[in-house]
Every structure is written in C-alpha cells, then in structure tokens.
Amino acid sequence: MNKSPHSKKHVCYYYDGEIGNFYYGERHPMKPQRIRMAHNLIINYGLFNKMEVYRPFKASDEDMEKFHSTEYVDFLKSVTPYNESTYTRSVLEKFNIGTDCPVFEGIYEFSQISAGGSIAAAIKLNKQKSDICINWAGGLHHAKCGEASGFCYVNDIVLAILELLKYHKRVLYIDIDVHHGDGVEQAFYLTDRVMTVSFHKYGNYFPGTGAVDEVGSETGKYYSVNVPLLTGINDVGYQKIFEPVMEAVMVSYQPSAIVLQCGADSLAGDRLGSFNLTTEGHGKCVEFMKKFNLPLLLLGGGGYTIRNVSRCWAYETAVALNHDIAEHIPYNDYYEYFAPDHKLHIMPIKTLNNQNSDEYLDKIKVKVLENLRVLTHGPSVQVRDIPEDAFKHDKSAVRDNRNPDERLSQEELDQRVQRDNEYSDSEDEGKGGRKNNISFEWPNKSPRMELIDTSKNFENGRMKN
C-alpha cells in the first residue's frame, strides 16, 4: 500500500541501449547520447536493482497512426539521408523537415523506440503493475499529427495519453520543459478528458505559443493551462508558482493518472534554455507530483547541456524510487563529463538576472487560478466494465534485472537488456500481478473500468470528446 507520501513506489524503467547511437548531426543541439549517459549514471548509482528495467518494444506504424497521419508515418519510414534529395522541397516543407528537424540515419527507429517506451509504460500503469514508469527517451512534445517540429518527429506523449485514456477518465499532463508543450496541447485542445499544463519561457521564444489566455476551446475550454515565465526563473520562484497551480489543478480536475514531461532544458546553464533551476528544484516538481499517489509516467524531453541532463534524470529516477543517492558521482563511463567537481547537483547561475518579479508571478498565478475556478464538474464519458482478466496487448515486457553490483561498461549494460515474452502477463509477480497491492489514494479510482477507445476521435490532429 502506498499511503504515505514517502512510501516506496514500484517503478518500471524503459531503456533501449541503441538510443544513444542516433545522431541528429554535427551542429544540432539534440544529443540522444544524453539518455545513455543518464542510464549509465542510474546503473552506477545502483538504482538498477530497485526497479524493473525493460527494453521497450518498437512502436509500429499502427501504434503511431493512433495520432499521426498515415502519410506522415509512411514518410518517416521511408526517408533516409541518402534518399532525402529525391523528395521535392514542398514535401519536405510539408513535413517540416529542415534545420530543427533534419533527416538523420535511423530517424524512424529512433521514433519507434521513444514511442514504444512511452506506450509500454502507459500499458504497465493501466494494468496497475507499477506506480511510476519512466521513459527518458520520451517526452517529445512538439511533434504534430502530420509534421515534425522542434526536434520531435513522433509524439510519444500523445500516444501514451491515448493509451491511458482507455482506463482513465481524466489524464493530467504537466510539462516542465523550458519550451511550451504545444504538440500535446494541440492534440487535446478540444477535449476535457486531458488537462495539459505547461510551464515555459514565453516571449520571442520557440514555439511562440502558450500565452496565459490560451485555455482550450469547445469542450476543452479551460482544460489547457499555460504558465508563461520569463528568463532567469530560479528554484524559489518556480516552486512559488508550480506548487499552488498544481494543487489547484489537482483539486479542480481530479485526474486518475499523471504524465510529467521532465524536459531538462529548464535547468541553469542549459545551452538553449534560459531558466535558472537546479537539479534539486527540477526534482522538487517530480517529488511534488509523486505525493498525490496516482499512476505517474515520467518522460524526458529537451535538455542540451548533456552532463546536467544526465545528472537531472538520474536524480529524478532516485526521487521516483525514494532512494537517496550520493552527492559524489560514482565512477562511470562518462566520468570526465562531470569534472571538475563530480557532483550530482548543479548550482544556479549567480549572474543570471531573474526577470520574474514576485508581482509578475502573482499576476500569472491569479489568472491561472481564476480559470481553474470555472471548472466545477468533471467531464462525462462513456464507460463500460470489463472482466478481471481482460488486460491484454502488453507489449512492454522486455525485462532485465540481473543487475551487477560491480560497475559495468556501457556495452555490457546494453547487452544485459534482454527480450522477454512480449505478451506475457506473468513477470515475477504471479497471476494478477500487483494490482491488489496497489492503492491509489486519489478519489477517482476506477481500476476495473475500460473507457471507450478515444483514439479514433481525432479530427485534424485534435481529439474530440
């Protein structure tokens, strides 16, 4: 039972050893290697044995087409750096291929791994076989139905939320990446089944959306929440706005599952971001959301100072596990990246001016809380009961828990992630898994309820109720 906010959580972690080999190009700031670095820290901190580690299945075309257009998925599947020149400029423009979203080798496989991890994690949560699932290769929040955007090709978050919506009436999405989570917001802009909340830098900054008065439309009005922030926000300011906003969101929306995009470009010293959060301040958001004791999906996202991204996600894995880890970074394959101090936590940048005055933060907070006050009733949805053993299609089981006590090389670690029976429901918990041991304390538990599949309710890339 996970009654106390400090009780241990059952955590599943999704990682594919191939992910770090994908390469966006020489001058591109997105480095998938950061995920391998985070993984290497996680392993060398000994967090491996404290959670179930899975290699995710690769998402199929059919999985992706729950949100993305067939034409776009076909394009991603076919295009390579070698045949790119055979596509007309107008086709490449249509799919928004260019400097931000280049064609790179394995672009489709990369997207399959990222999306496969998030979908598998959502399935695991739906089956109530875990309290918290983690996919640091996910969180690609800018991808749209028919086009790439902001380094993102396939929106694993939308796909995972669609999976969660099969069992959850209301899903809450939170985005602490420094950029606005526009792709996820857009997908659910017209529905009250998902509330999206993004904290981001606003004003002459990519993607340009996410003003406080961007609140959703039609049935979705007031279910999109935007918290525009200015350069230099620090831990104190962030906590001052994050906590009351999220408290109010939880009270008014009462979700039964939470997805938290943990983009690490909101950290101090990020190559693209201009916030001033420390790893501790960033991790406080995870800690805060964890305390609601709801099924929680933690995803990656942006993050361009890769030594800090790996610090942050390793630390947040420890936060999920409620396990303290040493401030001195253990020896690992990337040890020299953490020089000179080899410390886990980062400091704020002293010289960075915080443009978010208390008055500014208060004004935004008041506006957001005012919008939330309009929400009095939860959304109504069609539901039907399903029999106890009807959970199926769990493609997430690719398990490795033979964790070493000794430090292993990356190659060895990657080899240790092995495939399991893809459709097995047994794992090591016996028939029925842990579902009877898990108690979600929030009032909306509907553990034996399957909701009508909403993935077909998409029109022009937007879900309709």
What are the residues binding Zn ion (CB under 5 A)? 177, 179, 263, 265, 302
The region, left, alpha or beta by phi > 0 then psi within -120 to 50, assigned to residue 53 is: beta
CA 228, CA 181: separation in Å to the nearest integer?
11
Give the residue, chosen from 32, 216, 237, 263, that forms a contact with ligand V1D under the rule CB under 6 A: 263
Sign of the Cα pseudo-torsion (389, 161, 398, 298, in order): negative
Q: x/- site string to Ca ion, residues 122 to 161, per CB under 5 A?
A: ----------------------------------------
Give the residue, chosen from 140, 164, 230, 438, that forms a contact with ligand V1D under the rule CB under 6 A: 140
117 binds ligand V1D (CB under 6 A): no
Sign of the Cα pseudo-torsion (54, 316, 178, 308, in order): negative
CA 227, CA 243: separation in Å to the nearest integer?
12
99 binds ligand V1D (CB under 6 A): yes
Q: Which C-beta is closer to ligand V1D: that of 162 or that of 264?
A: 264
295-334 residues in contact with ligand V1D (CB under 6 A) are 301-302
Could you tell me the smallest distance in angstroms from the CB atom of residue 141 to Ca ion?
7
Could you tell me the smallest distance in angstroms from the CB atom of residue 28 to Zn ion?
14
66 binds ligand V1D (CB under 6 A): no
265 binds ligand V1D (CB under 6 A): yes
Class of residue 336 by CB neighbours under 10 A (exposed 0-12, middle 13-18, buried 19+): exposed
Q: Cα–Cα–Cα angle for 126, 132, 134, nearest 5°?
A: 100
Could you tell me the smallest distance in angstroms from the CB atom of residue 121 to ligand V1D?
16
Could you tell me the smallest distance in angstroms from the CB atom of residue 217 to ligand V1D?
23
Which entry of Ca ion, ligand V1D, Zn ion, none binds 141, CB below 5 to 8 A by partner kind? Answer: ligand V1D
Query: Tokens for 429?
Result: 């918990």
The residue nearest Zn ion at its CB is 302
Query: Tokens for 54?
Result: 């899975």
Helix segments in 213-343, DSSP class H: 235-253, 279-290, 306-321
Q: Cα–Cα–Cα angle for 4, 10, 13, nearest 5°?
A: 135
Could you tell me the smallest distance in angstroms from the CB atom of residue 299 to ligand V1D?
9
Q: What is the CA radius of gyration of the chain?
A: 21
Q: x/- site string to Ca ion, residues 183 to 202, per CB under 5 A?
A: ---------------x-x--
177 binds Ca ion (CB under 5 A): yes
Residue 190 identity: L
Q: Are 137 and 34 in contact (CB under 8 A)?
A: no
Q: Are 331 and 44 in contact (CB under 8 A)?
A: yes
Which entry of Zn ion, ligand V1D, Ca ion, none binds 198, CB below 5 to 8 A by partner kind? Answer: Ca ion
159 binds ligand V1D (CB under 6 A): no
175 binds Ca ion (CB under 5 A): yes
DSSP 3-state of 160? helix
Of 10, 39, 68, 142, catalytic: 142
Q: Which C-beta is closer to ligand V1D: that of 100 or that of 192?
A: 100
Nearest to 361 by CA among 233, 207, 197, 216: 233
Only segment of 104-112, 159-167, 170-178, 304-312 that touches Ca ion (CB under 5 A): 170-178
The residue nearest ligand V1D at its CB is 302
Q: Are 120 and 58 in contact (CB under 8 A)?
A: no
- Kindly write down the DSSP assignment for every residue of 328-351, as one continuous string: BPPP-TTGGGGTTT-BSS-PPPTT
Decide if 142 is catalytic: yes
Between the alpha carbon of residue 443 and those of residues 130, 251, 257, 381, the distances in Å are 18, 11, 12, 17
Could you tell me the smallest distance in angstroms from the CB atom of residue 177 to Ca ion?
4
Q: Which C-beta is closer to ligand V1D: that of 29 or that of 447?
A: 29
Only segment of 12-20, 21-29, 432-440, 450-458 that touches ligand V1D (CB under 6 A): 21-29
201 binds ligand V1D (CB under 6 A): no
CA 360, CA 341: separation in Å to the nearest integer?
36
Sign of the Cα pseudo-torsion (157, 162, 167, 172, in order): positive
314-333 residues in contact with Ca ion (CB under 5 A) are none
Q: Which C-beta is closer to Ca ion: that of 139 or that of 255?
A: 139
Nearest to 427 by CA among 398, 447, 391: 398
Could you tell me the smallest distance in angstroms from the CB atom of residue 216 to Ca ion?
16
Could you tell me the smallest distance in angstroms from the CB atom of residue 209 to ligand V1D?
12
Residue keyed to tokens 């599952």: 257
DSSP 3-state of 451? strand
Q: Which residues bind ligand V1D (CB under 6 A)?
A: 27-29, 99-100, 139-142, 150-152, 177, 179, 206, 263, 265, 272, 301-302
Residues belonging to the active site: 142
